[in-house]
Structures are given as C-alpha cells and as structure tokens.
Amino acid sequence: MSRLLSQEEYRKTKAYKIKKWYRGDKDPYVGAMELKPQKPFKEDITAQRKRIHDDALLKKKIYDTEHNRKLQLFSKFYEVVSVLFVVVLMAILLYVVSYLPPTGNPANPDNNEVSAKYIEDAMKDTGAVNIVTGMILDYRAFDTLGESNVLFIATCTVFILLRADKHSKKLKEEESDRLYEPKNDIILQKAAFFLVPMIIIFGIYVILNGHLSPGGGFSGGAIIGSGLILYVNAYGFKKIERFFTQKTYKTICFVALLFYCLAKTYSFYCGAHHLETGIPLGTPGDIVSSGLILPLNICVGMVVACTMYAFYAMFRKGGF
C-alpha cells in the first residue's frame, strides 16, 4: 500500500515538477543555465545618424502614399477590379435566379410526393396539428438532433476560445460584472422584475404548444434565453449563478440531448414509417398529444435557451 507523501516530499518528485512546468508556474531553464549579463548597448553617433536617415528615406519612398506612383496605380486598379467583380457576381446570381421555377407552379420540383405526404398524413402519423413540428420532430427528427448537437458543440468551442483564466483575474467578480453597466440600475431592475417572469412563462407556453400552433422548441427556447439575458443584465452574474452555472448548463444539455437520442434512435434506422413505439398519439388538439413530440420539443427548448445565455455570458466575461 502506497504511503501518503508530505507536501515537502511531494515537491521533490518529478510529477510535481512536470505539473508546475505544464501549468507554466516555473520555467525549467531558470537556474539551470549559465546566464551572463549583457553589456549596455551604446550606438555610435555615425551609425545612429545613418539609421535615422535610412528610416526617413524608407518612410518617404514606401509610406508616402500621396506621392507614391505605384501605390496610387494599384489603388485605382484595386477599385476597378472590385467593382467588376461585384458586377460579374451579381450577373451570375441573377442569371441563376432566372432559371428558378416560378412560385406556385404545380410542376415545381418541391411539389412532389414527399410534401404531399407531409400535408396529407402528418396529423395521422404524428398526432401534431402543427405540420412543421410534426415534420421536424418526427419525419426529420434526425436533422433536428444534429442541429441541437451543433448548438452544444458551438458553445463548447466558444468556451474553449473565450474562457477566462481564474489565475489571471485582476478584478473582483462583482467589479468585473458591473464594469460595463450601470451600478444597481433601479429602472432596469424594476422592469426586469416584471418582464422576466412573463418572458419565461411565454417561452414555456410556446414550447408546450409547439405541436398545436406555430412555435416549438427553437422559438420558445430563444424566448427563454432572452429572459435569462435580461435577468443577468439587471441583477448581474452573482445572482443568476445561484441557479444557473456552467455545471447547470452542461447537465441540462447532456440530459436533453441524451433523452432525445434515446427516444428517437429507433426511427433513425427505420425511415419515415418507423416502428411503432406504442405511445398513444392522443387526440389532435389536446396539450398532451402527438406522442414523443411534446417531450422532444421540451428538450430542444432547454438546449436552445441554455445555449443563448451561454453565448452571451462567455462573450461578456469569458465564462458563466
């Protein structure tokens, strides 16, 4: 059985030295190399005058944009080429658009058996009154799972790039939080006190009714995310971190995406007419209907709401 090392003994081990080197706490070359102090540099007066003359000549020949003939010609050429490029690009785009089928033409490629299937059988197959929700969370549920994962991966990427190093913070958390906003803005706080609950309740309403009316997880999650952003602007990160932290974000997104994946994995391999789940679709128009679409809408809404707030928090202070 290994013996617990004391702090002094642990500092002498190679593991501790490698850890300090990895974290950048100690330079491995300091104290291990012979260092000789350099003599103070003294420039000869002739060399100094020559250097000053060369710098002035360089600025006159190269950085003098008003009298530089080549630079003027290049600027004019650049402007002409830019205009020609834009004109040619517009002509190409207009030429391509002219070949698009006219709107409303029954012979258009989008008027095929797939769209007819969605319109005619969506309510019967999915139980959702909103055809769009039935399509994106049942027929094309795999695409929606990919979009939700893209949001989560994008948040992780932004967190890696913009995260704040705790060891290099010079300001206290409250000072950092209030650096670019009014201190205790009573008007903003009172407005947020009334608006934030209504915004979040409205977002929940949009999510829960996504299978019955226009809305769903994406739009409802965006509404809830805007409510969280308003709350943090009014009261600061210290208060919102009582119930929403980085750990909360990871837990919500992981659970939501895992449930989505487990609930719809079977249909990813069975096509549009997948195997029956045994979950009743209910009566179209009821709040508890459409099978798995309602819980999937909730999962998507939670991911979108957390992602919106996470982006704002990380771009503002490098973490949340």
Highest mean pLDDT of the ranges 118-122, 202-206, 314-318: 202-206
Of how many residues is the chain composed? 320
What is the pLDDT averaged over residues 17-41?
A: 70
What's this model's pTM, rounded to 2 decimal places? 0.63
Return the DSSP state at 166.
G
What is the pLDDT averaged over residues 137-158?
A: 84
Give the pLDDT confidence score for residue 33 in this predicted structure. Answer: 67
Please say whether the beta carbons of 137 and 144 come within 8 A: yes
3-state secondary structure 29-57: CCCCCCCCCCCCCCCCHHHHHHHHHHHHH
Give the pLDDT confidence score for residue 183 in this predicted structure. Answer: 61
What is the pLDDT averaged over residues 294-315?
A: 90
Amino acid code (one letter) for 243: F
Give the pLDDT confidence score for residue 137 in this predicted structure. Answer: 84
What is the pLDDT averaged over residues 23-52?
A: 74
Which among 248, 259, 249 has a CA at the least distance from the CA of 145?
Answer: 259
Give the pLDDT confidence score for residue 139 in this predicted structure. Answer: 80
By CB neighbour count within 10 A (0-12 exposed, 13-18 middle, 19+ buried), where does 105 fall? Answer: exposed
Structure tokens at 314: 């990380």
Q: What's the pLDDT tens digit per position in 163-172?
A: 666 555 544 5
Which 3 state secondary structure label does DSSP give 26? coil
CA–CA separation, 221 and 215 (whole Å): 10
Q: CA angle at residue 8 from 2 to 13, to 5 degrees?
A: 60
Please say whether the beta carbons of 211 and 297 come within 8 A: yes
Question: Quick one: how far is CA 124 from the chain centroid?
Answer: 36
Question: Hey, how many other C-beta atoms are within 10 angstroms of the C-beta on 250?
Answer: 15
CA–CA separation, 29 and 298 (whole Å): 55
From 104-113, 116-125, 205-214, the region with the lowest mean pLDDT: 104-113
**H helix runs in 210-282, sequence order:** 217-235, 237-240, 246-268
CA–CA separation, 94 and 100 (whole Å): 10
Please state whether 278 falls in left (phi above 0), alpha (psi between -120 and 50) or beta. Answer: left
Contacts of 223 (CB under 8 A, 6+ apart): 199, 200, 202, 203, 206
Give the pLDDT confidence score for residue 222 in this predicted structure. Answer: 93
Question: Hey, how many other C-beta atoms are within 10 angstroms of the C-beta on 65?
Answer: 9
Which among 67, 217, 54, 93 has a CA at the least distance from the CA of 151?
Answer: 217
pLDDT at 109 over 90: no
